[in-house]
């Protein structure tokens, strides 16, 4: 129900309103204050368990449940282009390779970092089994997947993959921990030298003034400097080999992918949501404010 999850899109409001279960009694009704909401204060797990007990007493429930299940998961639109000797790399080409080699070709858990990383991942990747994909969009804070991938791999005693942006990777990571304990964590870094959800979002909304550009970082060198395997991918034709090498590794691997920073991420819904909430384009230049500091 948060902004990065729902964009507060009014089309998501059910015709008869929400039944909102939350441990915090102040949460229900906040996201959609004008929608009819029945708030239930409860731990979600405890609530669902009791709800199932009630539903199981209804003999027709099992039949209704079967009838309501979709026959198959929706498939992403197939690309009509093949990986080529192209640089920088189109993010959708990278995601198609991740689908084939990691999602379909392994049992690895996949985590997506906030920002354009999760917009690309969520729009293109498809999982046929539950509990293999995780993305933290509560408040859109970066730093969850870049560190959490190590814990996920350790907890499941198997490979976990994080799809992250360069900005998040620079903020936080646990490469050293993964090296120390030889944890099979894989970071796939979408390296575009930008906080690109901010950069592209402002551009689409007609806003100027905030600098979202960051210096390009060589994460292959950082990985090797910390004792991990580092792979830099600068051409689309190199993606498959890099992913196959990483998924076969026994320890941590960082794949530094130089992606096209101007390839628009599939985030029109969010931008429309922000615009509907009153975010406006920059109409005029504001004077620069020079900070002053008192003498110490």
Please give the pLDDT value at position 197: 82
pLDDT in tens, 87-133: 799 999 999 999 999 999 999 999 999 889 999 999 999 999 999 99
Q: What is the CA 17 to chain-centroid distance, rounded?
A: 28
Please give the pLDDT value at position 84: 61
User: What confidence category does residue 286 fall into, taking pLDDT thresholds of 50, 70 and 90?
Assistant: very low
Please give the pLDDT value at position 283: 54
Q: Is the pLDDT of residue 38 over 50?
A: yes
Which one has a higher pLDDT value, 64 or 57?
57
CA 273 vs CA 268, 269, 278: distances in Å: 8, 6, 9
CA–CA distance, 186 with 148 (Å, rounded to integer): 11
- Please count the other Cβ atoms lying within 10 Å of the Cβ belonging to residue 208: 10
Which one has a higher pLDDT value, 223 or 173?
223
Please give the pLDDT value at position 229: 98
User: What confidence category does residue 80 fall into, taking pLDDT thresholds of 50, 70 and 90?
Assistant: very low
Task: Work out the average pLDDT over 38-60.
Answer: 88
Q: Which residue's entry shows tokens 């490979």?
A: 159
Please give the pLDDT value at position 289: 34
- Please count the other Cβ atoms lying within 10 Å of the Cβ belonging to residue 190: 29
**Alpha helices (H) along 111-238:** 116-124, 144-156, 166-171, 175-181, 196-204, 219-225
User: What confidence category does residue 65 fall into, taking pLDDT thresholds of 50, 70 and 90?
Assistant: low
Q: Is the pLDDT of residue 294 over 50?
A: no
**Domains in the chain, please, with CATH?**
3-68 (no CATH), 91-262 (3.40.50.970)
pLDDT in tens, 99-112: 999 999 999 999 99
User: What confidence category does residue 293 fall into, taking pLDDT thresholds of 50, 70 and 90?
Assistant: very low
CA–CA distance, 185 with 200 (Å, rounded to integer): 29
Average pLDDT, the chain: 84
């Amino acid at each position: 129900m948060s902004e990065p999850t729902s964009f507060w899109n009014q089309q998501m409001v059910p015709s008869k309103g929400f039944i909102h279960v939350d441990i915090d009694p102040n949460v229900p009704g906040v996201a959609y204050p004008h929608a009819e909401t029945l708030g239930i204060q409860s731990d979600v797990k405890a609530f669902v368990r009791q709800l199932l007990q009630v539903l199981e007493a209804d003999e027709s429930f099992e039949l209704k449940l079967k009838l309501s299940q979709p026959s198959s998961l929706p498939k992403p639109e197939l690309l009509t282009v093949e990986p080529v000797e192209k640089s920088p790399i189109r993010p959708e080409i990278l995601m198609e390779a991740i689908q084939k080699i990691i999602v379909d070709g392994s049992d690895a858990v996949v985590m997506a970092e906030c920002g354009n990383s999760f917009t690309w991942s969520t729009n293109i990747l498809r999982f046929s089994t539950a509990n293999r994909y995780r993305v933290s969009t509560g408040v859109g804070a970066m730093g969850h997947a870049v560190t959490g991938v190590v814990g996920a791999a350790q907890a499941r005693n198997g490979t976990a993959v994080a799809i992250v942006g360069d900005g998040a990777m620079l903020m936080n990571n646990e490469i050293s921990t993964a090296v120390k304990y030889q944890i099979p964590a894989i970071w796939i870094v979408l390296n575009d030298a930008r906080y690109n959800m901010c950069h592209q979002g402002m551009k689409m909304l007609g806003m100027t003034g905030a600098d979202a550009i960051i210096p390009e970082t060589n994460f292959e060198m950082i990985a090797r400097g910390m004792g991990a395997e580092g792979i830099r991918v600068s051409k689309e034709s190199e993606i498959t080999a890099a992913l196959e090498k990483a998924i076969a590794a026994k320890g941590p691997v960082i794949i530094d992918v130089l992606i096209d920073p101007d390839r628009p991420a599939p985030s029109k819904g969010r931008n429309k949501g922000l615009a509907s909430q009153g975010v406006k384009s920059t109409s005029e230049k504001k004077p620069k404010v020079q900070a002053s500091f008192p003498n110490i």
